[in-house]
């Protein structure tokens, strides 16, 4: 009988305990390069990232499950951020196409969104696989500054909402967290019924912890905040 497991915990098991990226030796992984984020993951050790080790003893079938998780993570597409008057919006390729926009990807440069009227808007790529793997390795979550409230009244001269933190930095971090959370939901759906030992469930992590009452934002979230995978294929304005 398969064991139910939160998708976030499954990733921690795959990357911290099983070191899944070392189990799949297909040539495809070496061809993905920086565009998929794997080049960034492979080189992160040079920047002093801490990779936790584990004394976990694999059970039969674990290697195949971990390798399948890794392949599925690498198969997730990137997301794109664009800044507007209401903050940051998150897009994927499907949503851009539905909006009549053309995605232009340029080697070594920021991608562009060509709107129906011909106006080119720079996009920021969010490589989902990078965030999923790096945070799973150390069992962490992207920092979304959940305990920082938007400062009332006139902004400070440098736009800070807290010491050392600007408003733009805060909404960017929250947009990345929203992408990470949505990707967990997508991944849980993609892996449903495909693993030998595990049955992943949608993420219990709060979708927007910065919207929780301030007395609760630092508490462990125990409720299931998602009944179904959350697609990225819709515009998401990040409330702050």
Express each pLDDT in 205-223 by its tens digit: 999 998 877 543 333 222 2
pTM for the model = 0.75
- Express each pLDDT in 47-102 by its tens digit: 444 445 555 666 767 899 999 999 999 999 999 999 877 678 899 999 999 999 99
Residues 6+ apart with CB under 8 A from 46: none
Contact call for residues 7 and 200 (beta carbons, < 8 A):
yes
pLDDT band at 159 (very low <50, low <70, confident <90, very high): confident
Q: Which residue has the tokens 């408003």?
A: 167
- Express each pLDDT in 174-210 by its tens digit: 999 999 999 999 999 999 999 999 999 999 999 999 8
């Amino acid at each position: 009988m398969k064991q139910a497991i939160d998708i976030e915990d499954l990733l921690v098991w795959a990357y911290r305990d099983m070191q899944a990226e070392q189990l799949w030796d297909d040539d495809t992984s070496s061809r993905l390069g920086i565009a998929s984020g794997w080049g960034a993951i492979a080189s992160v050790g040079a920047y002093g990232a801490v990779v936790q080790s584990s004394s976990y003893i694999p059970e039969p079938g674990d290697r195949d499950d971990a390798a399948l998780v890794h392949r599925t993570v690498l198969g997730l597409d990137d997301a794109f951020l664009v800044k507007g008057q209401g903050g940051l919006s998150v897009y994927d390729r499907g949503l851009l196409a539905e909006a009549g926009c053309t995605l232009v990807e340029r080697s070594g440069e920021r991608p562009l969104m060509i709107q129906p009227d011909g106006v080119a808007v720079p996009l920021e790529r969010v490589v989902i696989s990078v965030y999923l793997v790096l945070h799973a390795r150390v069992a962490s979550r992207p920092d979304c500054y959940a305990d920082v409230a938007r400062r009332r009244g006139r902004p400070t001269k440098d736009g800070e909402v807290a010491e050392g933190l600007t408003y733009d930095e805060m909404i960017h971090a929250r947009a990345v967290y929203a992408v990470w959370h949505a990707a967990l939901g997508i991944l849980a759906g993609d892996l449903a019924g495909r693993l030998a030992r595990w049955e992943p469930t949608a993420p219990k992590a709060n979708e927007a912890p910065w919207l929780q009452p301030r007395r609760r934002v630092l508490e462990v979230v125990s409720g299931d905040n998602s009944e179904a995978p959350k697609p990225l294929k819709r515009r998401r304005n990040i409330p702050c």
